[in-house]
Amino acid sequence: MAAKPKLYYFDERGRMESVRWLLAAAGVEYEEVLFKTAEEFENFVKGGDLMYQQVPMVEMDGMHMVQTRAILKYIAAKYNLYGKDLKERAFIDMYVEGMRDLNDMIMFFPFSLPEEKQKNFNYIMERATERFFPVYEKALKDHGKNYLISNQLSWADIQLFEVILMVEELKSGILSAFPKLQEFKARVSKLPRIQKFLQPGSPRKPLLNDASFEVLKKKLKIDKNIFLKHMS
């Protein structure tokens, strides 16, 4: 039996959360190595397995994979979540890249300066409702299928579901103007593997807020710049 994938990261969402989501959707069990102290992470970097001295890193199929998009593309292709041909993969890539832009805005939102927090929040909401969600709403409407590509669950669907939940954590009811996305969210949330990942006690990580960041900062003896330095 092949060894379980092993995920190396800090004990928070960050860029690894999308990897956790994709593995969960594929029904793949995995192990995690979560760095609890600065010394643990520094010793790991010295081990030489990190190509760019950055995490996330996934140990899988005899490889030490780094760079989030490379990891996600490999997993998606391996578990038939990356379309059936080049055209479908191109659309999946386009959808996912847009979602990643929105994901990054939300991921770094807790690090906003106090005086900029409301401005940044408004910007995220504007981008979500005027630039990104309309694209996926239209795709689902024009396509007339259950998922974004063909009628088969893909990496793009998993990424979209994750991003919807992230935006809703900042503002509930954000999907009120997007009926197709509401249907999509309800549909995907009922998939057994997704349901399992949504349950308490799953490897899914909570939202990083100011309080949880302070706890993490004390454990790792770091400032916010570590996320810019060591997250691909």
- Please tell me the least confidently modeled range out of 7-21, 109-123, 214-228: 214-228
Residue 39 banded pLDDT, cuts 50, 70, 90: confident
CATH of the domain spanning 86-191: 1.20.1050.10
Residue 3 banded pLDDT, cuts 50, 70, 90: confident
| Domain boundaries, given as residue ranges, for the chain | 6-79+199-230, 86-191
3-class secondary-structure state, position 75: helix
What is the fold, at CATH topology level, of the domain defined by 6-79+199-230?
Glutaredoxin (3.40.30)
| Beta pairing, strands 31-35 & 6-10 | parallel
Percent of the chain whose pLDDT exceeds 70: 89
Q: Would you state the torsion angle of the CA atoms of residues 208, 210, 216, 219, taken in this order, to the nearest 10 degrees?
A: -170
Residue 230 banded pLDDT, cuts 50, 70, 90: very low
pLDDT (mean) for 148-169 = 95
Q: How far apart, in whole angstroms, are the C-alpha atoms of residue 212 and residue 215?
A: 5
Q: How many CB atoms lie within 10 A of CB 186?
A: 9
* CB contact at 8 A, 75 and 19: yes
DSSP character at residue 84: S
Mean pLDDT of the chain: 89
54 contact partners, CB below 8 Å, separation of at least 6: 66, 67, 229, 230, 231, 232
